Amino acid sequence: MLTQSVESYLAVRRACGFQLKSDGSLLRRFAIFSESRDKHHVCSETAIEWAGLAKSVFQRARRLHQVIRFARYLRAEDQSHELPPPIFVSKRHLRPSPYIFSQEDIRRLVQAASQSGCPSLRLLTYSTLFALLACTGLRVSEAIRLRYEDITPDGLLIRCTKFRKNRLVPLHETAQAGLERYLQIRRPYAPFDDHVFISLRRKPLRVSDVETAFRTAVHRIGLPRGPGMPRPTPHSLRHTFAVRALATCPDGRDHIAKHMLALSTYLGHSKVSDTYWYLEATPDLMINIAERFENFFMGEPS
């Protein structure tokens, strides 16, 4: 039965550290679809039919990619499983251009967050959170999971991140001071919860809470928005941190490679290619790269 094979496949991959929440759901649906057509082995025709039910080409490619990987696993022991061709081309999704904040926009955003609504701990919570995201490049999910014990003299301990790895994020002394000022007010508010950031309900913040507060602050400072323009989101603060860090990259092939590897590790990327993506996604950085290449080609000092 394909359903049993899916569960076996997911168990093996999860034992290797993969979570596979959405991918697991997709494969279970494929197994049900196949068995409804009395197909108990992976069949190329059935896989392509099922993948083709998705709305977009990207979603179709993603579905078929998961089935192809699943089929490779099964064929190691049973050659009767077919290996579907990747007819929907690559499953690679074009990432939207990141919104990059200026230093002045970040200052205004943090200030707006401290003024949006009635005076309360909420204002200090979001202004501190946005400032922390801007100066550390943390993911929103990582920041809202922080607990008291994660604040160490050496920085923030980010536990079980996106790829189940811990990492230490250094904090500048000004960021440490700002976080401590917030905690002096926050600790008495919900003394039995040790999450750093909490809502007025005295519970840990949710991602939706952060997104709502962010939209309010963005609207308040009047950031330019419109069709075809990058959209500012809380994750834009992480994008901005990464781009600013890349802008300080030293010259020299060896220096650049070490800088990229260090930044990739700091950000918690699973692949260094995720860090290199910022080079092609940010016009200012692409202009710098083009200028340096032109200087190199012309034999001029960069």
39 and 154 housed in the same domain: no
**C-alpha span between 232 and 115 (Å, rounded):** 19
Residues 25 and 159 in one domain: no
DSSP letter assigned to residue 157? E
Q: Which of 235, 244, 259, 276 is catalytic?
A: 235
Amino acid 295: pLDDT? 59
Q: Between 271 and 252, where is the model more confident? A: 271
What letters, b where the CB count within 10 A reaches 16 and e where it falls short, cover 100-121? bbeeebbebbbbbbbebeeeeb
In a domain, 300, yes or no: yes
Reported as a single tens digit per residue, the pLDDT across 86-118 is 887 665 556 777 888 999 999 999 999 988 655
| Shared domain check, 117 and 151 | yes
pLDDT band of 279, cuts 50, 70, 90: low
Average pLDDT for 142-149:
95
Given a contact cutoff of 8 angstroms between Cβ atoms, the answer to whether 168 and 156 are in contact is yes
Q: Give 4-37 pLDDT, tens digit per residue.
A: 999 999 998 888 767 788 889 999 999 999 999 9
Do 286 and 186 share a structural domain? yes
Position 260 scores a pLDDT of 72
The whole-angstrom separation of Cα 243 and Cα 172 is: 18
162 is catalytic: yes
Shared domain check, 128 and 54: no
212 in a structural domain: yes
pLDDT one-digit tens code per residue, 287-298: 665 565 555 556
Active site residue 278: yes
Q: Which residue out of 108, 145, 238, 239 is catalytically annotated?
A: 238
Domain that residue 63 falls in: 2-75
The count of domains in the chain is 2
139 among known catalytic residues: yes
186 located within any domain: yes
Answer yes or no: is 89 within a domain: no
Instruction: Tell me: do 201 and 270 sit in the same domain.
Output: yes
Q: Which of 108, 122, 186, 269 is catalytic?
A: 269
- pLDDT given for residue 13 in this prediction: 85
Residue range 234-238: average pLDDT? 92
Q: What is the pLDDT of residue 193?
A: 92
What does each C-alpha distance from 88 to 67, 237, 297 come to in angstroms?
13, 34, 39
Q: Indicate whether 9 and 156 sit together in one domain.
A: no
Q: How confident is the model at residue 57 (pLDDT cuts 50, 70, 90)?
A: confident
CA dist., res. 293 & res. 271, Å (int): 25
270 and 165 housed in the same domain: yes
pLDDT at 252 over 90: no
- What pLDDT score does 142 carry? 93
Q: How far apart are CA 35 and CA 14, in angstroms?
A: 24
Q: What is the mean pLDDT of residues 252-256?
A: 60
* Residue 177 belongs to domain with CATH number: 1.10.443.10
Q: In terms of Cα–Cα distance, which of 206, 214, 205, 209 is closest to 233? A: 214
Tokens representing residue 73 in the block: 């696993």
**Average pLDDT of the residues in 30-53:** 94
Quote the mean pLDDT of the chain: 84
Decide if 133 is inside a domain. yes
The residue annotated as part of the active site, out of 99, 126, 266, 278, is: 278
User: Is pLDDT at 248 greater than 80 in this prediction?
Assistant: no
What's the rounded Cα separation, in Å, for the pair 120 and 136?
Answer: 25
In a domain, 87, yes or no: no
43 and 134 belong to one structural domain: no
81 is catalytic: no
Residue 163 has pLDDT above 60, yes or no: no
Do both 234 and 117 map to the same domain?
Answer: yes
**187 or 115, which is more confident:** 187
Q: Is the pLDDT of residue 42 over 90?
A: yes
Residue 154 has pLDDT above 70, yes or no: yes
Is residue 90 assigned to a domain? no
* Stretch (H or E) spanning 47: helix 44-51
Whole-number pLDDT of residue 285: 59
Q: Are residues 121 and 68 in the same domain?
A: no
Average pLDDT over residues 171-200: 92
In the set 63, 65, 108, 139, the catalytic residue is 139
Distances (CA, A) of 291 to 230, 263, 281, 285, 294: 24, 23, 16, 10, 5
Residues 132 and 255 in one domain: yes
The pLDDT value recorded for residue 4 is: 93
Please identify which of the residues 147, 162, 164, 202 carries the catalytic annotation: 162
pLDDT value at residue 224: 76
40 is catalytic: no
Among 142-156, 206-220, 243-257, whose mean pLDDT is lowest? 243-257
